[in-house]
């Protein structure tokens, strides 16, 4: 799992007497002013002992981020000879953090010490996922007491932890957070060290001395949770009981509850019943997980979705995927799992689409699967189209049918993957698929217009009369439309001008699909000698269809010279009067010269 973190460095330049400020930062949503405000709010005070880490929040809803501030000595000195402490700041989109999900320690280990990109781009790292078994093993009485006390809504200060390492204290904060639903991390502010007397916003923190406005607990000592706080007291007892059996399952359950939560009386009180019901069986089959995903969205419990998706992701690579495709497609259709939901952030919506398509429509997208989706989902969203484009296509027809619905950039990317032979084969496929044939003609024209991509296009078309036949059946009521597509294909195949040899070859090759629009396209491309030959070829073909032998035709031909066509009779083949787009013909290399 990869995450992209925006970053900033906050401090003073070496040798300077300037005030602290953002020294450099990434380009992105947070920006210089955003990072400056975050440091000022959460990590302005520099502890005496470094390094230290503060975890906080940035933004909300779809823009929610986890903010990580790592304060450490730089080894340089300011203009007054004082050591410079630099705060390394990182902002990770919450929507990315929930997939795993990732822990505080995992983020710290992945981000700290990384060289920031010189171009201002984000840091791309792969932090380890939260390991519920390892966390459960590390849970002690102090962590359980701290988690229970947080349910009171008050702050919790840990004292006598100065001898512990930074990682030990960070791991403790992680453990306490893991004993609550993951969604609280969007509001939890925690610090490995905060001055007791200073103003700060941390809700869970280590300090040298007890704090006046917090529950003070002692590092690695059992915590006494007051019975007057009923929910907290009962929760502490539940955790103590679960420590003996089932704590890992509770942590795993909470790690999947990623819906953002505030530290309000209502949300804190809901933790206890959620923990008490954590023994309820979770959906285990692909069908049940699809239904659970739909229920989570419909019931407004989108925070449960990442957990369902994580299990779905595990199952899709196993034998469990070999179930009833029809049943799964019915679930997807009936429960509208491919319809956009305003309750889901884009990253979750995209992950949902990828997994649902994989388990319900197979590892490859087929024509049948695409038809079913287009039938069930109307209108189809751009995000779903993008997910369909990410699936491997079973054949070129799927790619072409999908490309016709994508935006120009995505469509061009998809079409680039197809060879000329695949394009032509898709256009010839029965039954005729009008959007595909139109796109084939358009793509062939675009490739022919690029001199560097012309090689092989004419050879792929030559002798493939079925594509011409498909064009004839494409727009039976639109002669001008047929004419334009025939013109494109002929120019690609034979070039912008037909001499007698080329016109004879083209006429013979496509005699079976000969039509007025095709004849018009041939006539428009003929040079003067070929223009004299074409009527003879047409007349010969008509006589042959009527049973007249070639010997009789040759006798007729020797006794009657074919006059050069009168200019007025060629008017129907002019681009301006045939409905053909002159710019298209120019792009193909054909230049119309007005006859005089």
Residue 549's pLDDT is 63
**Phi and psi at residue 320, to the nearest 5°:** -65, -20
User: How remote is the C-alpha of 152 from its chain's centroid?
Assistant: 40
Q: How many C-beta atoms lie closer than 10 Å to residue 553's C-beta?
A: 17
pTM above the 0.75 mark?
A: no
Any idea what DSSP says for residue 43? S
User: How remote is the C-alpha of 483 from its chain's centroid?
Assistant: 40
Q: Is 55 helix (H, G, I), strand (E, B) or coil?
A: strand
Residue 316's pLDDT is 80
Residue 61's pLDDT is 87
- Structure-token pair, residue 484: 């334009």
Residue 513's pLDDT is 63
- Rounded CA gap, 443 and 467, in Å? 14
Q: Write the DSSP assignment of 225-278 as a string of letters.
A: --TTSHHHHHHHHHHHHHHHTTHHHHHHHHHT--S-----HHHHHTHHHHHHTT
Greatest Cα pair distance in the chain: 120
- Rounded CA gap, 64 and 84, in Å? 31
- Rounded CA gap, 250 and 275, in Å? 7
Q: Is 16 helix (H, G, I), strand (E, B) or coil?
A: coil
- Rounded CA gap, 526 and 501, in Å? 11
- Rounded CA gap, 537 and 531, in Å? 10
The residues near 516 (Cβ < 8 Å, ≥ 6 apart) are: 479
CB 305 within 8 A of CB 348: yes
Question: How far are the Cα atoms of 22, 48, 73, 94, 332 from residue 81, in angstroms, in the given order?
Answer: 20, 17, 14, 40, 66
Residue 484's pLDDT is 75
- Rounded CA gap, 560 and 428, in Å? 41
Nearest residue to 385 via CA among 405, 371, 366, 411: 405
Nearest residue to 219 via CA among 155, 148, 164: 164
- Rounded CA gap, 219 and 522, in Å? 90
- Rounded CA gap, 370 and 380, in Å? 11
CB 436 within 8 A of CB 423: no
Residue 557's pLDDT is 56
Residues in the chain: 596
- Rounded CA gap, 539 and 228, in Å? 106
Residue 56's pLDDT is 96
Mean pLDDT by 10 residues, the chain (596 residues): 92 85 94 94 85 94 94 89 92 91 95 92 93 92 97 96 94 96 95 82 94 94 93 94 87 90 92 76 80 87 80 74 78 93 87 93 90 90 92 88 83 81 78 78 77 71 63 67 75 77 78 74 83 78 66 58 44 36 46 36
**Phi and psi at residue 429, to the nearest 5°:** -60, 140
Judging by DSSP bridges, how do beta strands 190-191 and 52-58 pair with one another? antiparallel
CB 529 within 8 A of CB 500: yes
End-to-end CA distance of the chain: 70
> Three-class SS string for 97-161?
HCCCCECHHHHHHHHCCCCCCCCCCCEEECCCECCHHHHHHHCCHHHHHHHHHHCCCCCEEEECC
């Amino acid at each position: 799992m990869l995450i992209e973190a925006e970053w900033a460095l906050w401090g003073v330049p070496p040798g300077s007497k300037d005030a602290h400020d953002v020294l450099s930062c990434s380009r992105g949503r947070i920006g210089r002013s955003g990072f400056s405000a975050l440091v000022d709010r959460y990590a302005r005070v520099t502890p005496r002992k470094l390094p230290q880490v503060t975890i906080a929040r940035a933004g909300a809803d779809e823009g929610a981020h986890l903010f990580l501030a790592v304060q450490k000595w730089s080894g340089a000195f300011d203009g007054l000879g004082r050591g410079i402490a630099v705060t390394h700041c990182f902002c990770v989109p919450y929507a990315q953090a929930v997939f795993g999900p990732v822990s505080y320690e995992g983020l710290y280990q992945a981000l700290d010490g990384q060289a920031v990109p010189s171009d201002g781009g984000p840091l791309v790292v792969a932090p380890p996922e939260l390991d519920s078994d390892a966390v459960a093993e590390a849970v002690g009485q102090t962590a359980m007491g701290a988690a229970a006390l947080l349910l009171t809504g008050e702050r919790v200060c840990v004292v006598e932890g100065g001898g512990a390492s930074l990682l030990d204290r960070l791991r403790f904060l992680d453990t306490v957070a893991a004993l609550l639903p993951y969604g609280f991390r969007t509001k939890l502010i925690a610090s490995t060290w905060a001055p007791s007397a200073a103003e700060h916003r941390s809700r869970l923190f280590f300090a040298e001395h007890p704090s006046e406005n917090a529950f003070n607990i002692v590092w690695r000592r059992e915590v006494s949770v007051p019975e007057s706080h009923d929910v907290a007291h009962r929760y502490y007892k539940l955790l103590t009981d679960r420590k003996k059996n089932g704590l890992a399952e509770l942590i795993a359950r909470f790690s999947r509850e990623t819906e953002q939560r505030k530290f309000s009386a209502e949300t804190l009180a809901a933790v206890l019943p959620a923990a008490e019901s954590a023994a309820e069986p979770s959906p285990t089959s692909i069908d049940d997980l699809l239904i659970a995903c739909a229920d989570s969205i419909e019931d407004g419990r989108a925070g449960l979705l990442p957990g369902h998706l994580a299990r779905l992701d595990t199952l899709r690579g196993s034998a469990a995927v070999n179930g009833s495709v029809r049943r799964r497609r019915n679930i997807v259709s009936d429960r509208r799992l491919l319809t956009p939901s305003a309750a889901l952030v884009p990253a979750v919506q995209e992950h949902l689409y990828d997994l649902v398509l994989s388990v319900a429509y197979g590892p490859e997208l087929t024509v049948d699967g695409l038809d079913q989706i287009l039938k069930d989902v109307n209108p189809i969203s751009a995000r779903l189209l993008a997910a369909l484009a990410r699936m491997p296509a079973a054949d070129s027809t799927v790619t072409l049918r999908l490309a016709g619905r994508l935006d120009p950039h995505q469509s061009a990317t998809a079409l680039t993957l197809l060879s000329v032979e695949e394009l032509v084969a898709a256009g010839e496929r029965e039954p005729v698929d009008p959007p595909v044939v139109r796109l084939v003609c358009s793509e062939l024209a675009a490739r022919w217009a690029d001199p560097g991509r012309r090689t092989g296009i004419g050879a792929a078309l030559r002798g493939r009369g079925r594509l011409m036949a498909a064009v004839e059946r494409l727009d039976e009521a639109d002669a001008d439309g047929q004419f334009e597509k025939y013109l494109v294909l002929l120019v690609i195949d034979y070039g912008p001008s037909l001499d007698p040899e080329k016109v004879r070859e083209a006429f013979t090759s496509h005699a079976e699909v000969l039509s007025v629009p095709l004849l018009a396209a041939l006539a428009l491309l003929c040079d003067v000698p070929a223009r004299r030959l074409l009527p003879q070829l047409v007349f010969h073909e008509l006589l042959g269809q009527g049973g007249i032998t070639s010997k009789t035709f040759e006798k007729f031909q020797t006794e009657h010279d074919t006059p050069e066509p009168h200019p007025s009779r060629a008017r129907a083949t002019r681009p301006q009067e045939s409905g053909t787009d002159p710019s298209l013909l120019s792009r193909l290399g054909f230049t119309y010269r007005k006859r005089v």
